[in-house]
C-alpha cells in the first residue's frame, strides 16, 4: 500500500479512494488472521474493528442512484461486517478467511473496472444520434 499523505488523497478520484479502502480492508483482515493464529487476540480485535470501520465507510460511499448494484454491495458489506463480528467473538479464522475471499473478489472486479476506460462518451453518442435524426427531417 502506498504511503498516503493528505496531498496524495486529494489527488485521487473517488474510485481510486474506494480501491484504497478495499486494499486496507484486505490488509486488516489478513493481519487479524495472522494475529488470531498466534493467539494475539487483542491485536486481532483492533484489526477486525478497523476492517469493520472500512466496511462502514464503503457503505456510506455507495451511490444508490447507480442502481441495484449499490443495494447488493450494501447487503454484502453488512454481511461481511456481521461475519467479522462473529469471527472476533469466536476467534474463528475460517470466518475471517471467508470475508477476505469476498473482499478480494470485489477488489479484483473494482480494479478491473478502473482499468477500463470508456471508449466513447455515451452522452456525446446520444447527442450525435439525436442531431442525425433532426437533420434527416
Q: Which residue has the cell 493467539?
A: 39
- Give per-residue pLDDT as tens, 5-40: 777 667 888 888 999 999 999 999 999 999 999 999
Is the pTM value of this prediction over 0.85?
no
Domain range annotation of the chain: 12-135
Query: What is the rounded CA–CA span in Å between residue 39 and residue 33?
Result: 10
**Among residues 96, 90, 112, 115, which one has the least CA distance to residue 26?**
96
- Give per-residue pLDDT as tens, 41-87: 999 999 999 999 999 999 999 988 988 999 999 999 999 999 999 99
Query: What is the rounded CA–CA span in Å between residue 72 and residue 104?
Result: 16
Whether 84 contacts 29, CB under 8 Å: yes
- Assign domain 12-135 to its CATH architecture: Up-down Bundle (1.20)
- Tell me whether residue 44 is exposed, middle or buried, using C-beta atoms within 10 angstroms of its C-beta: 0 to 12, 13 to 18, 19 or more: buried
Amino acid at each position: 500500500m502506498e504511503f498516503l499523505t493528505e496531498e496524495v488523497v486529494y489527488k485521487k478520484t473517488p474510485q481510486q479512494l474506494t480501491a484504497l479502502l478495499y486494499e486496507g480492508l484486505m490488509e486488516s483482515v489478513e493481519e487479524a488472521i495472522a494475529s488470531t493464529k498466534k493467539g494475539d487476540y487483542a491485536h486481532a480485535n483492533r484489526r477486525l474493528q478497523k476492517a469493520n470501520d472500512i466496511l462502514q465507510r464503503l457503505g456510506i460511499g455507495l451511490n444508490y442512484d447507480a442502481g441495484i448494484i449499490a443495494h447488493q454491495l450494501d447487503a454484502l458489506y453488512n454481511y461481511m461486517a456481521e461475519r467479522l463480528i462473529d469471527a472476533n467473538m469466536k476467534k474463528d479464522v475460517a470466518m475471517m478467511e471467508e470475508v477476505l475471499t469476498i473482499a478480494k473478489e470485489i477488489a479484483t472486479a473494482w480494479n478491473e473496472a478502473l482499468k477500463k476506460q470508456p471508449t466513447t462518451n455515451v452522452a456525446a453518442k446520444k447527442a450525435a444520434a439525436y442531431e442525425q435524426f433532426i437533420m434527416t427531417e
